[in-house]
Structure 1
Amino acid sequence: MEGKYFFNGKDITMNMFIQIRDVIDIIQETTGLNFPDATLAFYESQTYKALQNTENTLWAESAGYIADRYFEECTETNCI
């Protein structure tokens, strides 16, 4: 089903949305970007693409860990 996230047959869509929201909040707090800009920056990142692959279980990590991966990526690619 499109627009839903599953892991081992279980719907984890709400977990994913909460993680995405929390990571964007951290990006906003750290960079001073507004919500639309922080969201766009995260959605265009490789970290977000990795998060979409539920089989790698990145979604089960803390929002802080995911944000750290995002900032690490930005250090390498100047994404913000």
Structure 2
Amino acid sequence: MHDIYYFNGQDITMNVCIQIHRVINLIQEQEKIDFEEATGRFYHSQTYKTLTQVENGLWAENAEYILDRYNEEK
């Protein structure tokens, strides 16, 4: 990922990256799969696309909430 994310003029790239990492870890634990498989599944989800469209504020929710959105999508 080489994107830089801004929200209200502030660079929130680190926040978004941390959330992505946390959600992938949760998927990995939940589905008993390795990090690469969890990453692929999340990166190809609508939830990931929504998360990276920062104007909707999903990045500011906790990782468990984002995981719930991912699970609902499945």
Same fold (TM over 0.5): yes
Query: How many residues matched?
Result: 73
Quote the residue 1:67 is aligned against. Answer: 67
Please list every run of 5 or more consecutive structure 2 residues that lacks an aligned counterpart in the other structure: none
TM-score, reference length from structure 1:
0.89
Please list every run of 5 or more consecutive structure 1 residues that lacks an aligned counterpart in the other structure: 75-80
Aligned partner letter, 1:46: Q
Q: CA RMSD in A?
A: 0.8
Could you tell me how far apart the structure 1 residues matched to 2:61 and 2:3 are? 21
TM-score, reference length from structure 2:
0.96
Superposed displacement of residue 10, structure 1:
0.2
Superposed displacement of residue 19, structure 1:
0.2
Could you tell me how far apart the structure 2 residues matched to 1:17 and 1:47 are? 14
